Amino acid sequence: MERRLLLVSSSTLHGGGYLQHCQQHVARFFGRDVNRVLFVPYALHDRDAYTRTARDKFRTLGYELDSIHEAADPVDAVRKAQGIFIGGGNTFRLLKSLYDNEVVTEIRRRVLEDGVPYMGSSAGTNVATVSISTTNDMPIVCPPTFSAIGLVPFNINPHYLDPDPQSRHMGETREQRITQYHEEPDTPSVLGLREGSLLLVEGNKATLLGTTKARLFTRGKPSVEYDPGSDLSYLLTNQSDSGDEGLRL
C-alpha cells in the first residue's frame, strides 16, 4: 500500500473558519472509502473542546470523528483507524503524548504499510516529518526524543513567515533560524509552508497545493521558492538533490 499524506500549514486562515481554506482538499483526500477518522488532539490541553471543534467540522464534510483520547486503548484505536488526523497546538506536548501513549510506531506502520491516509495540521504536520527540530513552538514539556513519526525524509516548518522589511524587531527571522539548524551536520531539508499552503503525498509523488508559495531550505545550498502545483516528489527519494525547478533566492 502507498502512503497518503495531507500536510497542512495551518488549520485556520485569517477571516475563515476551522479547516475552511482546505476543506475541499480534505474531502478529496479521505474520499468515499473512509467513513470515520481517528483524531489526535494531544497538542492542546483541552482535548474535549478540541475534539468537539474537529468533530463538528468533519461531520459537515461527511465523516464521523473518533478521538484517540476517548479510546480505552490508544494503540488499538490506531490499529482500527480508517484515517488519521493529528491537529495543531504545541508540538512538544503532542510528540510527548504520542510517545507516552506508545502510538508512534503503530501510526508509522499503519500509514507506511497499510496505506491509511494521514492528515496533519501545524503540529500534526511537524510530527509527520523526520524531527520536530524546526517547529516554532516553545518546549513546554520534554518529549523523550525530537525524532518524529518519520513519514517523509525531510522536515517542515509550518506557518513559515518571510522577513518584514518594515519591522523593527531585531530577533532572528524564520530564515535565520532554519539556517542555524542547517549549521548542524546531517540535517535534512526543511520545507517552509506559508499559511494557505499544504503538501499532498501519494506514494512517491509530492505536490504543493493551496494558495501560497513554499520555500525549501537545503543545507549548503540556496533556498528555492515553489509555486502551488509544483512537483516536489524528489524530496521523497533524493535528499542530496535540491532540484532544478523553482526560483533560487
* Active centre residues (catalytic): 122, 137, 159
Residues paired with 8 in a beta bridge: 121, 198
Cα 52 from Cα 57, distance rounded (Å): 9
Closest CA to 197 of 215, 171, 174, 183: 215
Spatial neighbors of 21 by CB under 8 A, at least 6 apart, are 12, 13, 196, 210, 211
Q: Quick check: 149 and 128 in contact, CB under 8 A?
A: yes
Distance CA 235, CA 130 (A): 12
Helix H or strand E encompassing 141: none
